[in-house]
Amino acid sequence: MLNFYIDRGGTFTDVFYQFNGESKVHKLLSQSYYKDGVFQGIKEIYEKYSQDGQNVQVNQIVIGTTIITNAILEKQGHDCALLITEGFRDLLQIGQQTRPQIFDLTMKKPSVLYKEVIEIKERITYEGQIVESIDLEQVRSNLIKLKQQKISSIAIVLLHSVINDIHEQQIKNIAKEIGFNSISISSEVSKVIKIVPRGQTTVLNSYVNPLIQLYIQELEQEIRSLLINQNPQILFMQSDGGLTEAQEFIGSKAVLSGPAGGVVALMQSTKIFKQLNKKGVVGLDMGGTSTDVCVYYDKQNIKEESIVDGIIVNTPCFDIKTVAAGGGSLLKFENGMFKVGPTSSGSYPGPICYDRNGLLSLTDANLYLGNIDVDHLPKIFGFDNKSGLNYEKVKQQFEKLSQELQMSPIEIAESFIKVADEQMCRPIRQITNGRGQLSQDHLLVIYGGAGGQHCCSIAESLMIDSIFIHKYASIFSAYGLSLARQQKYQKIPLIDKLINFDSINKVIQSFQSQLQQDIEQLIELHLKYEGSDFLLKIEYNTDMNIIKQQFEMQHHELFGFKQNREILIEYVSVTIKYGQQKEENDELLEILKIIDGNNMNINELQKQIQYKGPFLIHTGNTTIKINSGWQAELTKNDNIIIRKITDLQQQNINQSKYTNSSLELSIFANKFMSIAEEMGLQLQNTAVSINIKERLDFSCAIFDKDGNLVANAPHLPVHLGSMSDAVKCQINNFNQGDIIMSNHPEMGGSHLPDITIITPYFKDNQKLFYVASRGHHADIGGISPGSMPAFSKYLKDEGIAVRSFKIVEDGVFQEDKLIELLQESRERQDNIQDLKAQIAANNKGIQLIEQLIKQEGYDKVNQNMKRIQENGENCVRQMLYDISIKNNLQEIDTIESEEYMDDGSKINLKLTINRNDRSVIFDFTGTSQQVLVTKSAIIYCLRCLVDMDIPLNQGCLNPTQIIIPKNSLLSPNNICAIVGGNVLTSQRITDLILKCFYATAASQGCMNNFSFGGFNQRSYYETIGGGSGAGDGFNGESGVQVHMTNTRITDVEIIERKHPVRILSFTLRQNSHGKGRYNGGDGIIRSFLFLTKLNVSLLTERRVFSPFGLKGGKNGQKGINIYKTQGQSFLLSGKVNLDVQSNDEIWIYTPGGGGYGSI
């Protein structure tokens, strides 16, 4: 009897199979001369055992596949149409309005999956009330037209359908009558109360489900033709680790079908990590294209959504982070640093060693260094798929690089591998530290074809002293399929306060009574604090107090605090599992002898013996490298445990890991950026306000002892350039144990809602470095809610201005003084909690840098803080030289241009590029009287123009001279209003700088700030995207945040639930772009209906002057603000503060981007 467990990956198809109870392994390339690796694997194995004419029965076939992910990435899905509430046709394209890479001027977002859009006249409120009935005849007419266009798959996405799905069901019934083959409706696909993730998930289903159905149909047909008169059970792995039958295997539940099997197998290591006294397990799955990272703590770690190619998929899945570092990752040396990935050579042509005219990849480096034994790998390479790996071609390439770089070939290969190791460590630190745990408290479980070659080095970098490698590690996901169970998941909206537990309990018990009593079931409540959108899952109990205690304990473990707020329930979910859990009962053995290891096969290892490194273990499909200072042993079940026998911390200081300065720089660049990223994660997790927690309006960075920016996480550019000034202004104000809060423009502030928290690191009474975080607070006082007044004349109009306040003094949090300081704020409690979150983020940064110093020594850390800045300076100088040559400039040449704000204020720039010393002068002389953040705009533009992956740091500004006239628009005095400098002028300066560099046409030149509040109403603030400018070789992007900001926008269903407004439209402003050889992007239309009296502020630009085109490209359209009241419409200026009444409307039309080049 045969059972198949098959994982079809991007590079290899792995087959774990059992023949008459005996387990075996088979491996083949996913993309080759055969049509499908899954069927090919079944065919080869079945025919092998059927050769002598015996009747071999196939009992079960279980499949994990990347077919869905590949269809999305390669845009190979089925033509589908989106039916959505009128006014929101482009909502899913705009999404969260953020751009994927903040320094990428092309700003390319993934294209949408649907081909056509039909807007449906209907409207339901967040309470489920119908305010506009659906026109079913119009629906029928539109569906017939779609059918005539040969579209047979549709996605139906209507606002608030989770609360009331009547309109979606009516459309579904008509679509069935007309004959649509694939119908996905959002209220059935996902129960989340957020239309963007629910809608994108529904469209994904509509796009890939026909493909899945076709794949399953063809596979079943091929299996039937192979297995005559047999009917094996065919099951598929879902993203949450449960198996499902073929007819229930749908796109949204299958995006992590491939890696999920590995996580299931990982969970079998529970007994081992407990024997080793570890808190949990870190799994690292290193494949050919990328590396997946996950954690396990004696309980499945399931999250509610994932992101695939920019698409939010809202279904339960394992929490897996992916980094673009796999065996196929391309190797490059750029600007003095070793780079690994993110692009991959794939399975075809693959690395050079695959002998198919491939590209230099990470696998080649491992082969060259002897970390892969060619003789122990299957011969499936070459153009004939029958050859072994080609070492000679790899050797030739490294010898060629050696001549170019003046380093030895071995040194080069080792450098690439160490950089790859560090890149894989970054997501591990994020995923462990994000749960309040330290990486070193975990067991590292390595699997995937390439992981064994890197395991000891990765563990050393993470300070982990124990590694577990399963005997089936090279096909771990396939092996995990054999351990998985069939599983079903259902989620039911149940919106209430936890205090109303009696009514909640009745609903749950009524639902529970409908379930089978003899099956395993897990019922969980999805809870959150009032005012937050972050949900925690707590297992159901009939005692409300136990649920409350569990929620508060879990919240405290994750975020370090609990709140004195109402606990709300949003959903109830139930997971049903079928069959018995299969377990691998493994354990450690007593060691009787320790000997030196030699290169050997895994079957040569003996139990109860430890083998000292360095040596290699060959498993048949991969190689495990045991480094010096590590020892390997077998467990009871013949799996491998590798343990560190020397002190990791002392070894790291005493023994240099860096064979050359380029390697050292490459590693530290990753380490510094990783620390800033983890600070940001800590801040997001512990904050309470929507602005910081959900809109991500914050930034974190590291600074050297002089206050110079060393590295930042990819947060908001508008913050980063001026944060260095904020740190430098406070350097002389610190005593040990102090943390300083500041937001004043004279002290490096941007605008008052952006509060900076600065923490120094002291050693022997000396300040060695600083960390800082800056967050936008929802309200900080002032004359209008949201602290973004349209007509402020003085700084005091905009809120509380703080030059320097010791929020922590001598280690004590100054809560009483802070409450007094913030008495003007309308959101004081949120302010205080968010400031505590910023302090916690800074503390995280201090801890991580302190840990880095313990690992590497202070001198090396300090030296590389300087070298990172030197590297940034060199990159900018080279960019200036290249731009001078590209644009045929003189050796010293000046480009002068000007821009006008809507009020007529002039921004003048003379840009002088000196090709000889590779420097640049930004001379703003001639700029009108009375903007801030000029330095932020300059450093952002320079970093964008470098167009390489380097940390943004102070060195980028070293080749520059900045001339700003005092008391000008760019350098206001200490009493004038400055709110527009951050959100408006910074965008206009950026456009002007990029114009002088001939880089891009103007983007929307604005952040379109919109805020409102009122009596007994919480303040609300948002910035609205628009069109980006086109450039040489690329079109602008539509409906996106541009340049100096990249904040998310609040989901329509959330804002309507929390505030007395109704969004009438949120869509692209068609044809608002500037035309050219390359077109600019379109702006956005966003409109509000107010349901009560409120005070509204608009702070916008480009309402008078259009975004300019460049090199013959046409201008984008100006923005427009419209106020509708009592049947009349009024054109508003760019800066407005007004009181609106119930049923009034505000319509905001944001600017389009300029075109580039003559048509």
Rama region for 308: left / alpha / beta (φ>0; ψ in -120 to 50; rest) = beta
- Cis-peptide, bond into residue 110, ω within 30° of zero: no
User: Is the pLDDT reported for residue 637 higher than 70?
Assistant: yes
Instruction: Measure CA of the first residue to CA of the last residue in the chain; give whole Å.
Output: 68
Average pLDDT across the chain, whole number: 88
Q: pLDDT for 539-553, tens place per residue?
A: 988 899 999 999 988
Choose among 216, 146, 157: nearest CA to 181. Answer: 146
Q: Residue 353 in contact with residue 391, Cβ under 8 Å? A: yes
Per-residue pLDDT band at 789 (split at 50, 70, 90): low
CA 44 to each of CA 29, 41, 707, 906: distance values in angstroms, whole numbers, following the listed order: 13, 5, 64, 74
For the whole model, what pTM was predicted?
A: 0.87
Whether residue 84 is predicted with pLDDT greater than 90 in this model: the reply is yes
- Smallest CA-to-CA distance from 704 within 662, 671, 672, 735 is with 672
Cα–Cα distance, 363 to 394 (Å, whole number): 10
What is the reported pLDDT for 695?
Answer: 79
CB of 1134 within 8 A of CB of 1119? yes
What counts of helices (H) and strands (E) characterise the chain? Answer: 27, 54
Q: Could you read off the pLDDT of 368-421 as tens digits, one per residue?
A: 998 887 776 777 788 887 888 899 999 999 999 999 999 999 999 999 999 988
CA–CA gap between residue 124 and residue 122 (Å, rounded) = 7
Choose the weakest-confidence range: 506-515, 601-610, 950-959, 984-993: 506-515
What is the identity of the amino acid at 454? H
Mean pLDDT confidence for 337-356:
86
Closest listed residue to residue 678, CA positions, set 849, 443, 562:
849
- Of 551, 538, 695, 535, which is closest to residue 193 (Cα–Cα)? 535
Given CATH 1.10.3470, say whether it is the number of domain 71-218.
no
Angle between helix 934-946 and 986-996 (nearest 10): 40
Which tokens is 934 given? 């000029």
Buried b (16+ CB within 10 A) or exposed e, 703-719: bbeebbbbbbbbbbbbb
CA distance 316 to 299: 15
Quote the CA–CA distance of 762 and 735 in Å, as a whole number: 9
Predicted confidence (pLDDT) at residue 926 exceeds the cutoff of 60: yes
What is residue 539's DSSP assignment?
A: E
Question: In Å, how far are 328, 494, 1017 from 402, measured between CA atoms?
Answer: 21, 64, 67
Per the model's pLDDT, the better-predicted residue between 505 and 981 turns out to be 505
**Region 98-115: what's the mean pLDDT?**
88
Q: Count the helix, strand and coil residues of the chain and give each as a percent rounded to the nearest 5.
A: 35, 30, 40
The pLDDT of residue 824 is 87
| Span 164-187, average pLDDT | 96
β-pair partners for 1045: none
Structure tokens at 699: 């930034």
Under DSSP, the state recorded for 426 is: H
Encoded amino acid at 850, one letter = E
960 DSSP β-pair partners: 920
- Angle at which helices 858-886 and 828-856 cross, to 10°: 100
Q: Where are the alpha helices (DSSP H) in 369-408?
A: 391-405
Residue 26 has pLDDT above 60, yes or no: yes
Q: What's the pLDDT tens digit per position in 696-740? A: 889 899 999 999 999 887 777 777 777 888 999 999 999 999 999
Q: Give the pLDDT confidence score for residue 608 in this predicted structure.
A: 94
% of residues, the chain, pLDDT over 90: 52
pLDDT-derived band at 763, boundaries 50, 70, 90: confident
Tell me the Ramachandran region of residue 992: left when phi exceeds 0, alpha when psi lies from -120 to 50, beta otherwise.
alpha
Give percent above pLDDT 70 in the chain: 94
Q: Is the pLDDT at 649 greater than 70, yes or no?
A: no
The pair of structure tokens assigned to 12 is 């290899």
Q: Give me the pLDDT at residue 969, please.
A: 47
Contact status, residue 388 vs residue 635, Cβ threshold 8 Å: no
- Of the listed ranges 36-45, 196-205, 1105-1114, the least confidently predicted one is 36-45
Q: Minimal CA–CA distance to 16: which of 70, 67, 60, 66?
A: 60
CA distances (Å), origin 616, targets 146, 284, 362, 568, 1124: 61, 19, 18, 55, 75
Is the pLDDT confidence value at 971 over 80?
A: no
Predicted local confidence at residue 577, as pLDDT: 87
- Alpha-carbon distance of 1098 to 790, in angstroms, equals 6
Q: Where in the chain is the domain with CATH 3.40.1360?
A: 71-218
Mean pLDDT of 1142-1151: 98
Segment 937-950 shows an average pLDDT of 86
* pLDDT number for residue 264: 92
